[in-house]
Structure 1
């Protein structure tokens, strides 16, 4: 069994998970790209019985995109993505909100037909340990 914690950027919201990760997807759909401002969302799905808010649950704001299953929860203070409880049947956990590395690699890239062209074939780009001059 895995046990790990996570938080928002400002540290006001904290949570812990004690249990198995069900699925881990990198989602390239347009909605995930739009709400992360990035190439994809990194979404881990877990069972709600393995999840507990440690602090700041009252600061969680959830947006549900009209006429879709797309939801996103975030900290009202700093805007960071935080876990979303979906119909009390699953929790969508943003991998980047974990305080340590996820205990496994993603299972799959999903909605790859929607992948942004600028995020494809990036292995040949130069890499820098920090912001380049």
Structure 2
């Protein structure tokens, strides 16, 4: 079982499947959401995820005019897992507290949208747009 939590520990979750591939999204929406070069996530099936505590502290924001949303902890502001589509969800890799030793960057997505100052230096496969692996 893989577990994770936000920075303050008020929100926690578990993942019941094995994960290894990390996707780093470099799109402008993810850059603005995190204030960084993008966001590193693992993508899992919805039924492999369960909240353990802190549901009342989850705040979700929908970007007006887009089919995109992000969630964060009301207490500490940590990015939280969210819907990817009807079947899958994304989990920020930095929230994982055990099981991270099996993770490796496998894909960089929306590389065509990355910041000019962002240099990709690992062996993850680069995709100009989205990648449905």
TM-score interval, smaller chain: 0.7 to 0.9
SS in 1 for 2:105: coil
Once structures 1 and 2 are overlaid, which stretch shifts more, 107-116 or 72-81?
A: 107-116
- Residue in structure 2 matched with residue 113 of structure 1 by the alignment: 112
Larger radius of gyration: 1
Distance 1:6 1:40, change over 3 A: same
Distance 1:71 1:96, change over 3 A: same
Distance 1:86 1:28, change over 3 A: closer
Gaps of 5+ in 1: 124-133
- Residue in structure 2 matched with residue 17 of structure 1 by the alignment: 15
- How many residues get paired? 121
Asked whether the 8 Å contact 2:21–2:103 carries over to 1, the reply is no
Distance 1:22 1:73, change over 3 A: farther
Mapping of residues 68-107 of structure 1, within 5 Å: 68-86=66-84, 88-100=86-98, 101=100, 103-107=102-106
CA distance in structure 1 between the aligned counterparts of 2:12 and 2:83, rounded to whole angstroms = 15
